[in-house]
Structure 1
């Protein structure tokens, strides 16, 4: 199936965006975790606005990259391959079948970190600390998924040109 020029341009654009988002996420992660983030530091975020801004940047960039991958690049790539529009969970299961993603369940679990990093931290520093460290420890899942989607998208676009 030949992807339309619009879909090809969309894939190229999203690949560029994802690569920039990964770069920015790595920078933010280095700012937050470079000195080894501790629970005590998270507990004292109200008193350390500089660290709070860095944590906010990391959280935002982690969530944004996950959104771009799961809600934009993956559906665009599946569409280019002739797959019908589906809900996120079905798309993630397709990604598993294409061997782009190891586990859709793990992806969903990582996606649930969003609420813990954005909302629940207001009440519970331990929840925020755990969510931040889990997100940091799993950044490679997002990067690997991005690399596989990017490779597939670029192969598809170059085959069409």
Structure 2
């Protein structure tokens, strides 16, 4: 179990590293607006794509793999079928800071699936919110990794 958890963390770290890089590269364009989006170079647009992809991939990997592995590792009791129940249990045991914040990040992640090609101001709004929340997403990953370290180091 610990080996697969370590592998899951490696995947999350890889997404996080690339997300951090894209965040740094996009910093010079913040806050994004309809005008700044229209003026981005092809390279900057590729970086924006990298940002949105890594934000989504990191959150997906954490929600689908890391969180269930943490619950299994800690042998949390009960049959937690609903994802929201898993989130609240993770919050209760201190593995994540806030289930509600995770759900907000999930909403933004889902907004990426809607491109809003006819509404650049909506695109800018979603991206600005995602850039803010990406710091929290990275903090959640750090919190989870710090939480599981004692369990991993036991074996």
Class of the TM-score when normalised by the shorter of the 2 chains: 0.7 to 0.9
CA distance in 2, matches of 1:101, 1:153: 11
Contact 1:25 1:62 in 2 (8 A): yes
Alignment pair present for 1:153 and 2:148: yes
What is the RMSD of the two structures over their aligned residues, measured on CA atoms? Answer: 1.9
Q: Which residue number in structure 2 is paired with residue 15 of structure 1?
A: 9
SS at match of 1:122: coil
Alignment pair present for 1:121 and 2:108: no
Q: Which runs of 5+ in 1 are unaligned?
A: 1-6
Q: Which runs of 5+ in 2 are unaligned?
A: none
Instruction: Pick one of 111, 123, 130 that aligns with 2:125.
Output: 130
Q: CA deviation at 1:85?
A: 5.0
Q: CA deviation at 1:88?
A: 2.0
Count of aligned pairs: 152
Contact 1:11 1:153 in 2 (8 A): no
Q: CA deviation at 1:150?
A: 0.9
- TM-score normalised by L of structure 1: 0.84
Instruction: Pick one of 15, 26, 30 that aligns with 2:24.
Output: 30
Q: Which residue number in structure 2 is paired with residue 70 of structure 1?
A: 63
Q: Which residue number in structure 2 is paired with residue 3 of structure 1?
A: none
Could you list the per-position Cα deviations for residues 81-129 of structure 1 after superposition, in whole angstroms to 9, with x for gaps in the alignment?
A: 1134533211111111012323212211211112322314223212211
